Every structure is written in structure tokens, then in C-alpha cells.
Amino acid sequence: MASHCSPCLCTRRIILRFRLARSPCSSGGPMFTGIIESIGSIRALTPKGGDVRVYVETGKLDLSDVKLGDSIAVNGVCLTAVELPGDGFWADVSRETLTVTAFVDLKSGSRVNLEKALTPTTRLGGHLVSGHVDGVGEIVARADNARAIQFTVRAPRELAKYIAHKGSITVDGTSLTVNSVNGAEFELTIVPHTLSETIMADYLPGRKVNLEVDLLARYLERLLLGDKAAEPGHGTITESFLAENGYLKS
């Protein structure tokens, strides 16, 4: 009997077929899973021609299969290895990346989440992550919940529509499930294993974090726009668009 995958799973497989590679981040090729492989640390930040060159010590991350030009996600930001001295790698961080991510808050000694890019044999344990940060969120509350910790995160208003109850969200490169949503704020319950394998134990109210919404939410938005997606000024779904197309009753 022929097997059939769900539309969601089929879409993920199609994306993987075209995007599995450890190519440079600028090519748009590499993908990640949001399953953190190691906690590393920033060891140097050197200004270079208006950008910043950063040295990341990679801890237990296996670099034996990493070559120059390969991609590694650092706190959810896809970076390209330009030097591999042995216990870490150097990468260039553009001015734009510093502007649109929480990288601007990093300093020498900062702990960071690390994940190598997917390969055709990588187990997809989280969800598809591009390594292109959508916005910077803020930890607004932290509370103990038995052995777990519950965080409340405030996302930029423009990202709120992509964040759903029981949906996926990437926080500093970590694939997580949204427990609840209230406006632009959402809650996460982080179990002890995740706390020990990521930098989330360091989070306190006021901390800025990198957010990447589920890719499928963005693809779905474009699909719902139909032919209007190609028209100027119709890049996102608005209340007026929903009303014009019969999704809202007057």
C-alpha cells in the first residue's frame, strides 16, 4: 500500500530537498533543526571594515567535518566559517546582522547556542530553521514550574501573527513549542534537559533574544495571497484583504 505524508510533512520534505547543504549563509542554502549541538562562547570581537569578525569557541561541537565556507548557527544566526583554527571558528558578522539581531549585545565571554547545518543524513528532531532571524524578542518574565522554568517572551508586533498556540518558534536557535499566546507575548515551558543543553538557563527578564518564526507560517501567508502576492503593496495579509476575499463577514 502506498503511503502518503501529511501536507505539512510533504512541504517540509520538498523544502529539504532543495535546501540541504552546508553552503555559505549568503547563498540561502543551509537549513537547521533548532536542536542545539553545543554551548560555545564568544572569545573575540574584532571590528573589520565596518563589520565585525567574531571568534567562537565551539566547546563539544564536532568540527571534524566542517570546512571553510560551511555554515554554523550561532544563537540562531547563520554564520559562515572563514577560518578554522582548531577549537572554534572565525566568522564575519555584517552591519545588517548586528542591526536586526541580538548579536549587538554579545561580548567576549558570552555563551551561545551552536548548531551545524543540516546534511542529507541529519535527523530532523526539531523543525526547519533557516538561520535568518525575523526579529528580536525580550524575556519579560521567568518563573519556576516544578523542575522546569516558564518564560514569557515579548515578540515584535509584526511577528505576532505568525506565533500560534502549540506552534513552533525558534529562540536563540532553539526549536521550542509555544504553550500559550497573549497578543505579542507567548509562553514557553523549558524542561531541565533543554536548560542544561542550551543557554536558556541564563535568561532573565530584560534579556534580548533572537526569534525566527516557523517558515511554513510565512509560506502559508504568501499562498493565501494568491496572485496578489506579486502585486506591489500586497506583501502581507491584512484585515481588509481578508474582508475583500470573503474570509471576514461584514
Q: Per-residue pLDDT tens for 117-145?
A: 988 777 777 788 999 999 999 999 999 99
User: What are the tens digits of pLDDT across the range 97-114?
Assistant: 999 999 999 999 999 999
How many residues in the chain? 250
Q: Hey, what domains does the chain have and what are their CATH numbers? A: 22-116 (2.40.30.20), 135-213 (2.40.30.20), 220-250 (no CATH)
pLDDT at residue number 218: 81
* DSSP 8-state secondary structure symbol assigned to residue 70: -
Residue 45: φ, ψ to 5°:
-135, 110
CA distances to 52, 62, 156, 164, 195 from 217, rounded to whole Å, are: 32, 32, 16, 9, 27
Q: Which helix (H) or strand (E) holds 19?
A: helix 7-19
Buried b (16+ CB within 10 A) or exposed e, 207-232: bebbbbbbbbbeeeeeeebeeeeeee
Give the range with max mean pLDDT: 110-124, 184-198, 217-231: 184-198
Distance CA 58, CA 34 (A): 16
**Number of Cβ atoms within 10 Å of the Cβ of 18:** 9
Local structure of residue 6 (DSSP, 8 states): -
Tell me the longest C-alpha to C-alpha distance in the chain: 64
3-state secondary structure of 48: strand
Report the pLDDT averaged over residues 10-22.
44
pTM over 0.85: no
Q: Is 58 left (phi over 0), alpha (psi -120 to 50) or beta?
A: alpha
The residues, any chain, with a CB within 8 Å of residue 147's CB and separated by 6 or more, are: 191, 192
pLDDT digits (tens, 9 = 90+) for 159-175: 999 999 999 999 999 99
| Contact by Cβ (8 Å): 224, 236 | no
Q: Is 16 left (phi over 0), alpha (psi -120 to 50) or beta?
A: alpha
